[in-house]
Amino acid sequence: MEKIQETYVVESQEQASCLLHPLRGEILSRLCSPASAAQVARSLNEPPQRINYHIKALEKANLVRRVGTRQVRNLVEVLYQAVARNYLLSDTLGWGADTVQKLKDQSSLRHVYTTAERLKRDALRLMEQTEAGQEIPSATLDAVIQLADENHREAFVQDYIRLMKQLIQKYQKKKQVNHLTIPIKCV
């Protein structure tokens, strides 16, 4: 089995375009170790067909590769793995700074939309569990922040990212229950 790279420099337009889809970024993060499309679909709470479609696109762009198979009941599942843990857009792509910023903004907005859709699905699933008598601990934060200008916006975003990383590092420990990892999403 080929070792996964720490950082992969994206130099083709096809790969860059493929990476800009937020769900594909989520899929790549789940494929740092070998997994099937069905496993990734379960971890993302998405339909397997949708995940399989995006894995095929990532494979076509050479961002994931087949690393094996396994027998599951009467089916043979294909195992995939990302080519790297991190992806860096090369300057040789020839995109101007404005284009790169627009792509980042568009990707961020698409990610917000995808995350909102996932939150709705997760909230409905959790509400069904509470109706069935299961207690679900939850918390929300709602705030309106008015920033003076672009510099304050950038400073706020950088502080927010730094603080979230600190919280995640502080509390991210894998809790074991019957040898299963319980994931906690931070959106």
Q: pLDDT tens-digit profile of 50-75?
A: 999 999 999 999 999 999 999 988 98
Report the alpha-carbon angle 43-44-46, nearest 5: 120
**Hey, what CATH class is 5-138 in?**
mainly alpha
Residue 35 pLDDT > 80, yes or no? Answer: yes
| Mean pLDDT over each residue of the chain, to the nearest integer | 82
- Residue 77 pLDDT > 90: yes
Q: What is the pLDDT of residue 53?
A: 96
Nearest to 69 by CA among 58, 57, 81: 81
Strands 35-36 and 84-89: unpaired
| Alpha-carbon span 13 to 61, nearest angstrom | 10
pLDDT at 37: 96
Read off φ and ψ for residue 186, nearest 5 degrees: -120, 115
The whole model's pTM is what?
A: 0.56
**pLDDT of 104 over the 60 cut:** yes
pLDDT in tens, 111-120: 666 667 677 7
pLDDT the model gives residue 83: 94
C-beta separation of 51 from 27 below 8 A: yes
The string of pLDDT tens digits covering residues 119-178 is 777 788 888 888 888 888 777 778 888 999 989 988 998 898 889 888 888 887 655 444
